[in-house]
Structure 1
Amino acid sequence: MKQLVRWVLLAAVSAAVTVPLTLVGVPSAGLFAALAVGVVLALTSLAPAGVPRRAGVAAQGVLGVYIGTMVQHDAFAALGSDWPFVVAVAVATLLLSVLAGALLGLHREVSPLTGSLALTAGGASGLVAIARDLGGDDRVVSVVQYLRVALVTASMPLVVSLVYHPDRSHPAGDVTQSATAPWYLSVGMLVVLVVAGVAGGRLLRLPGAGLLGPMALTVVLQLTGLSFGLSVPMVLVQLSYFVIGWQAGLAFTAESLRAIARILPAALGLIVLLGAGTAGLGVVLAHYTALTPLEGYLATSPGGVYAVLATAVETGSNVTFIIAAQVLRVLLMLFASPLLARSVVWASRKLSRHKAETTPANSAPMRVAD
């Protein structure tokens, strides 16, 4: 009964905090609210014991399908002959993220693996969801990832206004929305995709199988036009955000919070450098394609996808191209990061750099990434 009361308290407060965060436009508001509430209740000894592993895997699967539905079967056609440049810029962004993560990993409170996941420029909610399974500290990853998203989103209006001086008199048309399937068909497809994706991902020994397996299957259905208008009900998306946020938040202790506070100055500096680096890649992309400098900046922004879309529409930019480039970036980050995690673990062992995670509690999952 005591545990039940604590779960009810956790769910009720998380839902209450989500509402105002959603109203002010915070990305993935449910996840952020659940993380913050989980931390507070954990530090005050009012939190439940922890999230069951099966619930975490189910939440990863729902989120994987949700991210996969971002891909439209004709979306990448918008890139046209410029797709090699967009891919090259996305790969360069990944390399910048890895470099920034390696630098953060030099901090005594952070392992190289956690640093790499924390500063990957894309798919914040997905990376938080699978960080623990890969052997990273999901607490550090969640805080740094949301710091990145917050900084990019908050700075975008200033950068656009002060650097690019856009003409806002001719906004772009609304993005066309495709027809969606009835909720009961979508829920049925969702269950099949999650179960088959998780099982197939584990069979193939795919890192982060709970997220990447269902996401891969969904992307295939979307690109082949066989998704039949699949749309994940938002109530399930929000519930998944809650579970993932709780999973990280309930693991906090006073000592781990102090340790993360010591990391933040270094993380903040690296996030700023990462933003400057991707802005430079936007200049390169605009130079080799028909994009304007503003469109190049929006296409390569390392986060804040919803702010990017709103800015693109408001300034009359090439919305379809920018969306396709952003989706490609997010998918590359989510699929490549788990694979790179194994390389990071191997390299750190090769160099005999046996750094501990913030707490010994996360040492067990490190074996999963071997």
Structure 2
Amino acid sequence: MVRTVGSWSLLAVVTVAVTVGLTLLGVPSAALFAALAVGIVLALCSLAPARVPRRAGQVAQAVLGIYIGTMVHQDSLASLGPHWPIVLAVVVGTLAISILAGALMGLRRDISPLTGALALVAGGASGLVAIARDLGGDDRVVAVVQYLRVGLVTATMPLVVLFIFRPDRSHPSAALGQTATAPWYLSIGLIAVIAVAGVTLGKLVHLPGGGLLGPMAVTVLLEVTGHDFGLSVPQALVQIGYVLIGWQAGVAFTRESLHAIGRALPLAVGLIAALTAATAGLGMLLSHVTGMTPLEGYLATSPGGVYAVLATAVETGSNVTFIVTAQVLRILVMLFAAPLVARGLVALTGRFARRRQSREITDDSKEPIAVAD
């Protein structure tokens, strides 16, 4: 008992300290990065708790699902105007490229096709990490590769914008306005109701990853119909959700799994670079069809780094509303479609997957988080 309390206390204290440091450095989703990194280090030193309680993982999924759902607004699709078909086509193209890259990664003997597909889907990193184990994938691999994608895209974006697009920064755009929000106590009540309703919906329709996608679907419905009652997820709750998801993947690491993931990182970096280049090409197509600038096309189709995209769009005087709406649409499509497509991919390669899947990574994490139980 004392050992358990001590391990949880150590995990919490170190995670908070690292989160503060990463936040000061401007790292996006710092709490999740910190929780993942600290969980890995303590697990490898045999100082971490055995696992995150299943119910805690369920609550974290629901909170993140609702938080992502609040990114959608009633006038979001209207901001795309007549260009919504090409934007949707580009998003679907991004999904197809992501799944192809994931299938290539799944050719490795130590990574299953499902894990590879989820690891390289270009959108909703925290959501995909949250539901990876529920879908039968390895959430440790998904976490490392997904946040490697976010980190690389975010880090290279300023260089791409500066040296390729050379924007005029003398006329910045206005940032997106904030709508009135409900008091925190009312939002907490709404979150609880939406979480229960969303998880129940996920059970009824057998939605993959329903613990996250069910509450997200209910939230999106409320947002687009204008019946959200000013719902706003408190940032403290979001950060707790990030921490739980990061711990869930981090504390499950072993030395063997870390070595296996390390061997896959060169391939992952190459596939992320190829994915970024391919989506930039889709951005140029979007720019040509819609008449937007090449920079706006690039920002609208960037496969990650939403906060960096928003900051760059404002600073360069780009069409912020269009770009952010396209990015949110990308995230939603990836989160809803990726589990279905990934499972389809596994069905097609099923006769090979069991033979090729390495015990080195998957055995410790194949027990699902039974969100729909």
In 2, distance between residues paired with 1:354 and 1:218?
40
- Contact 1:113–1:136 (CA under 8 A) maintained in structure 2: yes
Partner of 2:14: 13
Task: Name the SS for the 1:73 alignment partner.
Answer: coil
Map 1:298-309; keep pairs closer than 5 Å: 298-309=299-310
Map 1:165-204; keep pairs closer than 5 Å: 165-204=166-205
- Contact 2:133–2:366 (CA under 8 A) maintained in structure 1: no
In 1, distance between residues paired with 2:97 and 2:169?
32
Task: Name the SS for the 2:179 alignment partner.
Answer: coil
- Contact 2:175–2:320 (CA under 8 A) maintained in structure 1: no
**Given the alignment of the two structures, is residue 143 of structure 1 paired with residue 144 of structure 2, yes or no?**
yes
Aligned AA (1:130): I
In 1, distance between residues paired with 2:97 and 2:371?
25
Instruction: State the Cα RMSD in Å.
Output: 1.5
* CA apart distance, 1:80: 0.1
* Alpha-carbon spacing, 1:185–1:366, altered in 2? closer, same or farther (3 Å): closer
Partner of 1:71: 72
* CA apart distance, 1:324: 0.4
Map 1:96-107; keep pairs closer than 5 Å: 96-107=97-108
Gap regions ≥5 residues in structure 1: none
Partner of 1:61: 62
Partner of 1:333: 334
In 1, distance between residues paired with 2:127 and 2:274?
23
Partner of 1:348: 349
In 2, distance between residues paired with 1:368 and 1:60?
9
- Pick one of 357, 363, 367 that aligns with 1:360: 363
Larger mean CA deviation between 354-363 and 109-118 belongs to: 354-363
In 2, distance between residues paired with 1:15 and 1:143?
20
In 2, distance between residues paired with 1:352 and 1:15?
39
Matched residues, number: 369
Partner of 1:233: 234
* Alpha-carbon spacing, 1:306–1:347, altered in 2? closer, same or farther (3 Å): same
- Contact 1:135–1:367 (CA under 8 A) maintained in structure 2: no
**Given the alignment of the two structures, is residue 269 of structure 1 paired with residue 275 of structure 2, yes or no?**
no
Map 1:86-101; keep pairs closer than 5 Å: 86-101=87-102
In 2, distance between residues paired with 1:150 and 1:318?
24
Aligned AA (2:171): H
* CA apart distance, 1:207: 0.3
Larger mean CA deviation between 291-300 and 344-353 belongs to: 344-353
Gap regions ≥5 residues in structure 2: none
* CA apart distance, 1:351: 5.3
- Contact 1:135–1:366 (CA under 8 A) maintained in structure 2: no
In 2, distance between residues paired with 1:132 and 1:38?
17
Aligned AA (1:100): A
In 2, distance between residues paired with 1:352 and 1:333?
23
In 2, distance between residues paired with 1:241 and 1:263?
25
**Given the alignment of the two structures, is residue 80 of structure 1 paired with residue 81 of structure 2, yes or no?**
yes
Task: Name the SS for the 2:77 alignment partner.
Answer: helix
Partner of 1:35: 36
In 2, distance between residues paired with 1:23 and 1:367?
36
- Contact 1:134–1:341 (CA under 8 A) maintained in structure 2: no
Deviation string 1:12-38 (CA, Å, 9 cap, x unpaired) is: 110110011112221111111000000
Deviation string 1:14-70 (CA, Å, 9 cap, x unpaired) is: 011001111222111111100000011111111112101111011000000000000
**Given the alignment of the two structures, is residue 123 of structure 1 paired with residue 141 of structure 2, yes or no?**
no
Task: Name the SS for the 2:208 alignment partner.
Answer: coil
**TM-score (normalised: structure 1):** 0.97
Deviation string 1:234-257 (CA, Å, 9 cap, x unpaired) is: 111111111100000000001110
In 2, distance between residues paired with 1:198 and 1:347?
29
Task: Name the SS for the 1:151 alignment partner.
Answer: helix
In 1, distance between residues paired with 2:107 and 2:97?
16
* CA apart distance, 1:353: 5.8
Structure 1: 4+ residue segments shifted above 6 A = 366-369
In 2, distance between residues paired with 1:174 and 1:356?
47
Aligned AA (1:312): A
